[in-house]
Amino acid sequence: MNLLLSIWRVPLVVIAFLLPAVPGAELQEQEPPKKAVYLEIAVVGKADHGQKSFSTAEVKEFFKLDKRFWPDHSRVVLFQRPASSTIQELMLKHVYGTSESHLRKHFVSLLNKGKVQAIPSVVPKDSLLKRLILHKGGSLAVMEAGKVPEGLHVFPIDGKKPGEKGYPLRFEVEPATTE
């Protein structure tokens, strides 16, 4: 009986240490749940071509250059983002529905058939993109909605602007990938 009483005096930590390990019962540090991060892509240009907004289908038509003229009959000049950018990756997946190499082939095919005058230029910086849009008639491009500089028109899509509930170009991204 004295032995039993002395065992009760042993600190619980020692008893827990002496217990056999149960597989899978280790205490693991759990990472806090990651907060969802969203990136909204704004379709930008100048609003002086008779086009005030787009439907989702029109965004796809314009960016694939299946539709090459504005309502006022001026030619669309499309600018793209670098292939390695998060914005271009999202555009490839959700708007173009293809890979970068297939998209290039599509544009080359349009060029060879004489349907376009040039393959869209790749513009890496927002500041350069703004200058090109303001100085090159018919320009159309995309950029991160929160970084659109003053002077550019953000086209509503399906009647929604970036930041509004239901905006169609809002995508969940990994926290480290926002640019």
pLDDT in tens, 51-78: 999 999 999 999 999 999 999 999 999 9
Does pLDDT of 11 surpass 70? no
Over residues 75-90, mean pLDDT: 95
Task: Find the mean pLDDT for residues 160-169.
Answer: 97
If you ran DSSP here, which 8-state letter would residue 17 be given? H
Considering only 8-22, 143-157, 164-178, which range has the smallest mean pLDDT? 8-22
Tokens of 89: 């990756």
Would you state the pLDDT for residue 46?
A: 87
Residue 70 near residue 76 (C-beta atoms within 8 A): yes
Residue reference for tokens 């018919």: 138
**Which residue would you say has higher pLDDT here, 35 or 123?**
123
Counted residue by residue, the chain has a size of 179
Note whether 147 and 41 are within 8 A (CB): no
Task: Give all domains of the chain, ordered by start, each with its CATH number.
Answer: 37-174 (3.40.190.10)
Q: What is the spatial distance between Cα 167 and Cα 31, in angstroms, rounded to a whole number?
A: 31
CB crowding 107-123: b at 16 or more within 10 Å, else e: beebeeeeebeebbeeb
Q: Which of 117, 7, 103, 6 is nearest to 63 (CA)?
A: 103
Q: How confident is the model at residue 32 (pLDDT cuts 50, 70, 90)?
A: confident
For the whole model, what pTM was predicted?
A: 0.78
Write phi, then psi, for 84 (nearest 5 degrees).
Answer: -85, -5
Q: What was the pLDDT predicted at 177? A: 47
31-44: average pLDDT:
87
Q: What pLDDT is stored for residue 27 in this prediction?
A: 57
Query: pLDDT tens digits for 102-118?
Result: 999 999 999 999 999 99
